[in-house]
């Protein structure tokens, strides 16, 4: 069964895109936890952080920086959950970019 993010990459499920290139896609989270909440994913399916080749992260870092510029933000938090016990719900590597341009983000309790 294909994951929801793979379906978004294929255009089978609509998304509000922020940035895209041949390898990565950034789009608005449908359940935002901050005024800006973007999901950044590789177009190729990798289940989680531990299953992703290291070279993908170098390219992804540049894409994340470009996405922040397109959003006009310089202060943001990046979050990824690695596995069910860490809170991962969709098993396709994704990084949350969250920001509050009108204030600061509070650090949530994790337990």
Give pLDDT, residue 44.
97
DSSP state at residue 105: P
CB-based burial of residue 88 (10 Å sphere; 0-12 exposed, 13-18 middle, 19+ buried)?
A: middle
pLDDT at 102: 84
* Domain of residue 78, CATH code: 3.30.428.10
Question: Phi and psi of 96, rounded to 5°?
Answer: -85, 130
What are the distances in angstroms from CA 80 to CA 11, 20, 73? Answer: 23, 19, 19
Q: Tell me the C-alpha distance between 79 and 14, whole Å.
A: 23
55 lies in some domain: yes
- Active-site residues, by number, are 94
- Residue 111 confidence (pLDDT) above 50: no
The total number of structural domains in the chain stands at: 1
In a domain, 107, yes or no: no
Structure pTM? 0.93
Q: How many residues are given for the chain?
A: 111
Domain extent for 46: 4-99
Assess if residue 108 is contained within a domain. no
Residue 43 lies in a domain: yes
């Amino acid at each position: 069964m294909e994951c929801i993010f793979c379906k978004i990459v294929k255009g089978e499920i609509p998304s509000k895109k922020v940035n895209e290139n041949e390898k990565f896609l950034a789009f608005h989270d449908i359940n935002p936890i901050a005024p800006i909440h973007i999901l950044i994913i590789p177009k190729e399916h990798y289940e989680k952080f531990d299953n992703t080749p290291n070279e993908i992260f170098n390219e992804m870092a540049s894409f994340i920086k470009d996405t922040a510029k397109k959003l006009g933000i310089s202060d943001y938090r990046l979050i990824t959950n690695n596995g069910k016990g860490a809170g991962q719900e969709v098993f396709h590597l994704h990084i949350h970019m969250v920001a509050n341009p009108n204030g600061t983000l509070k650090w949530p309790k994790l337990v």
